[in-house]
C-alpha cells in the first residue's frame, strides 16, 4: 500500500483517479479548492485538504509522507484563458511550479536525494494547428491558447525540475476526455457531456460549423490507467506521452451515435463555426501504449453508454 497526493481530486478526472487508487488499497490525499470540482465527487476514504494549489504551505502539508503526486488541478478551459490570461496562468503554470518545488522540498525534508515523483496533466492543446496527423509526441508544439502555452510551460518546468533537482516526472498530453462526472452544465464542458445531456432530455443539439470537425475522444477510465502506469515511468527530465485513442470521430457522427444510444430523434441546430477552432485533432497512441503497457481503449459506444447511464441516474457526484 502506498500513499498518494492527487491535486484536483474533486474534479472530473481526479475523482476517478482517486477512486481507482483507493480501490487498489492505497491511501489518497486530495488537494482541491473546489473552484470547479465538487465535494460530492470526493471518493469516500480520501483525505481532503481544501486549498489553492499555489499555496506553498498547503502544498508542503499535502506532500508530507506521500510516495507520489498526481497533479491535475487546473483551470481546464481554453475560453477562460482568453478572458483571464494572468489569472489562469497563475493556476495553470505558477501553481504547477509550486507543486514541483514542493515535491523536491519533501525529498530534502526526508533527508534523501529522492524527490517525490510527479505525474502531471498536460494537453493536446500544446500542439496547436497540426501540420500532419496523427500527432506524435515529436510533433511541433505551437500552442494557440494561453491554456496550451501554460501546459507546455508545465512540461518545460518539469524538465527543469529533473535537470536541476533530479525530480522524477512524467507528463501526459490528454486529448478529449469524456465520461461520468464531466459537468455538462459547466460552460467549459466537453462536447460529449453537453450532447449527452441534451439528448437524454430529448432536446436539440447545436453544432458549430458543418459538424465535420474531428476529435480524438478518450474515455476517462483509459486516462486513469495511463496516469497510474505513468508513475512507474517517472524519471528526471522524464517522458511526455499522448493519452489518446488514435480514432477520429466527427462531431456530427458523435451526435448521431449519442442520439442512437439514447433512442432519441436527432434534431440538429447549426451555429457559425467558432473562430480559431482547429478542424482536426488526432493523436498517435503508439508510444504511450508501448511504454506504459496500456490495453485497447474503451470503445466509444461503451464510454458513451456509461456517460448516458450516469446522466440518467441523476448525475451522482455532481450537485
Ligand atoms: N477534460 C479534458 O478533456 C482534458 C483534456 C486535456 C487536459 N486536461 C487536464 O486534466 C486535468 C483535469 O481536468 P478535468 O477535466 O478533470 O477538470 P476539472 O475542472 O473537472 O478538475 C480540475 C480540478 O482542479 C481544481 N482546481 C482548480 N483550480 C485549483 C486551484 N487553484 N487549487 C486547487 N484546486 C484547483 C478544481 O476545483 C477541480 O476539482 C487538468 O489539468 C486539465 O487541464 C483535461
What span, in angstroms and rounded, lies between the C-alpha atoms of 283 and 309? 28
The Å distance, Cα 170 to ligand 1 centre, comes to 17
CATH superfamily of 3-179+217-246+283-298: NAD(P)-binding Rossmann-like Domain (3.40.50.720)
The best mutation among 16, 37, 303, 319 to test binding of ligand 1, ranked by most ligand atoms within 8 Å of the C-beta, falls on 37
Instruction: State whether residue 218 is helix, strand or coil.
Output: strand
* 8 A C-beta contact, residue 173 and residue 137: yes
Q: How many degrees, rounded to 5, is the angle at CA 317 between CA 311 and CA 319?
A: 85
What span, in angstroms and rounded, lies between the C-alpha atoms of 98 and 67? 18
Sites in the chain below the pLDDT cut of 70: 318-319
- Amino acid 204: pLDDT: 97
Q: What cell was used for 245?
A: 485513442
- Give me the phi and psi of 59, to 5 degrees please: -65, -40
Query: Domain extents for the chain?
Result: 3-179+217-246+283-298
The two beta strands, 249-250 and 240-243, are unpaired
How far is residue 65 from each of residues 4, 59, 167, 188, measured CA to CA in Å?
Answer: 9, 12, 16, 35
Active site residues: 147
- Amino acid 319: pLDDT: 44
Q: DSSP alpha helices (H): ranges in the chain? A: 12-23, 56-63, 78-83, 85-89, 95-109, 146-165, 191-200, 220-231, 251-262, 286-292, 300-312
Among candidate residues 179, 163, 173, the one with its CA nearest the CA of residue 285 = 173
* 8 A C-beta contact, residue 39 and residue 10: yes
How far is residue 196 from each of residues 80, 174, 184, measured CA to CA in Å?
Answer: 23, 21, 8
What would the pLDDT profile of 77-110 be if each residue is shown by its tens digit?
Answer: 999 999 999 999 999 999 999 999 999 999 999 9
Among candidate residues 252, 260, 263, the one with its CA nearest the CA of residue 205 = 252
Asked whether the bond before 134 is cis by omega within 30 degrees of 0, the reply is yes
The two beta strands, 176-178 and 68-71, are unpaired
Instruction: State whether residue 257 is helix, strand or coil.
Output: helix
* 8 A C-beta contact, residue 4 and residue 27: yes
- Give me the phi and psi of 207, to 5 degrees please: -110, 130
> Going by CA atoms, what residue is nearest to atom 21 of ligand 1?
11
> Going by CA atoms, what residue is nearest to atom 31 of ligand 1?
52
Residues with a CB atom less than 6 Å from ligand 1? 8, 10-14, 31-37, 52-54, 72-76, 91, 95, 121, 123, 174, 176-177, 190
- Give me the phi and psi of 301, to 5 degrees please: -60, -40
The Å distance, Cα 76 to ligand 1 centre, comes to 5
- Give me the phi and psi of 257, to 5 degrees please: -65, -45
- Give me the phi and psi of 211, to 5 degrees please: 85, 0
Query: Given the CA of residue 53, which atom of ligand 1 is nearest to it?
Result: 32
Task: Tell me the CA end-to-end span of the chain in Å, nearest whole number.
Answer: 32
Amino acid at each position: 500500500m502506498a500513499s498518494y497526493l492527487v491535486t484536483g481530486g474533486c474534479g472530473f478526472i481526479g475523482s476517478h483517479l482517486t477512486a481507482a487508487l483507493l480501490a487498489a488499497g492505497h491511501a489518497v490525499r486530495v488537494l482541491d479548492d473546489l473552484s470547479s470540482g465538487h465535494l460530492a465527487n470526493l471518493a469516500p476514504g480520501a483525505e481532503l485538504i481544501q486549498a489553492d494549489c499555489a499555496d506553498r504551505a498547503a502544498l508542503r502539508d499535502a506532500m508530507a509522507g506521500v510516495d507520489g503526486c498526481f497533479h491535475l488541478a487546473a483551470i481546464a478551459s481554453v475560453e477562460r484563458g482568453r478572458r483571464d490570461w494572468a489569472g489562469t496562468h497563475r493556476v495553470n503554470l505558477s501553481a504547477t511550479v509550486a507543486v514541483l518545488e514542493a515535491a523536491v522540498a519533501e525529498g530534502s525534508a526526508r533527508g534523501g536525494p529522492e524527490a517525490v515523483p510527479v505525474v502531471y496533466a498536460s494537453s493536446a492543446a500544446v500542439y496547436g494547428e497540426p501540420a500532419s496527423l496523427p500527432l506524435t509526441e515529436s510533433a511541433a508544439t505551437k500552442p494557440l491558447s494561453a491554456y496550451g502555452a501554460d501546459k507546455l510551460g508545465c512540461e518545460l518546468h518539469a524538465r527543469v525540475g529533473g535537470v536541476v533537482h533530479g525530480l522524477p516526472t512524467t507528463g501526459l498530453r490528454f486529448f478529449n476526455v469524456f465520461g461520468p462526472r464531466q459537468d455538462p452544465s459547466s460552460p467549459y464542458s466537453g462536447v460529449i457531456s453537453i450532447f449527452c445531456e441534451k439528448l437524454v432530455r430529448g432536446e436539440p443539439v447545436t453544432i458549430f460549423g458543418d459538424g465535420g470537425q474531428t476529435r480524438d475522444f478518450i474515455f476517462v477510465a483509459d486516462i486513469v490507467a495511463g496516469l497510474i502506469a505513468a508513475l512507474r515511468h517517472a524519471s528526471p527530465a522524464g517522458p511526455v506521452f499522448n493519452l489518446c485513442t488514435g480514432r477520429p470521430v466527427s462531431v456530427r457522427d458523435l451526435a448521431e451515435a449519442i442520439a442512437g444510444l439514447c433512442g432519441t430523434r436527432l434534431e440538429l441546430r447549426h451555429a457559425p463555426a467558432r473562430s480559431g477552432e482547429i478542424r482536426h485533432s488526432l493523436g498517435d497512441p503508439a508510444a504511450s501504449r508501448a511504454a506504459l503497457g496500456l490495453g485497447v481503449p474503451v470503445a466509444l459506444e461503451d464510454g458513451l453508454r456509461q456517460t448516458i447511464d450516469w446522466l440518467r441516474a441523476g448525475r451522482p457526484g455532481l450537485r
